[in-house]
Amino acid sequence: MEYSFCFEEVKGLAMVAGFHALDGLYFTRGEDGSVTVAITESALVESPVLRSFTLDVDSFASVVASMSARGEENGGFYKAKEFLESKG
């Protein structure tokens, strides 16, 4: 399954598409494995973006590994990074 995500500013409103985790928290994967996090005013796609930032693939891999049962030990970071960088 392939997903297409984007963040686009239109007259101060964000047209946000991505993984919607909960009310107004969106995650979008970049081509290079980086992840953009956007916090919007509400869960509505047309809702203004209050804050957004991008984590490079190493930073997000560290987050994923740290939250996993394996952690960053025993190659957890490298497995998470490989997963994030894979194209299919």
Residue 49, token pair as written in the block: 């973006």
Residue 72, token pair as written in the block: 């960053």
The DSSP code for 77 is H
Instruction: Name the pTM for this structure.
Output: 0.71
Residues β-bridged to residue 37: 27, 53
Instruction: Give the Cα separation of 76 and 88 in Å (integer).
Output: 20
Query: Nearest-CA neighbor of 29 among 1, 64, 4?
Result: 4
30-80 tens-digit pLDDT: 888 889 998 888 887 778 888 889 999 999 999 999 999 888 888 999 999
User: How confident is residue 3, by pLDDT bands cut at 50, 70 and 90?
Assistant: very low
Q: Which residue type does 81 have?
A: K
Mean pLDDT of 6-21: 56
Annotate 17-59 with DSSP letters as a single string. ESEEEETTEEEEE-TTS-EEEEEESSSSTTSPEEEEEEE-HHH
User: How confident is residue 87, by pLDDT bands cut at 50, 70 and 90?
Assistant: confident
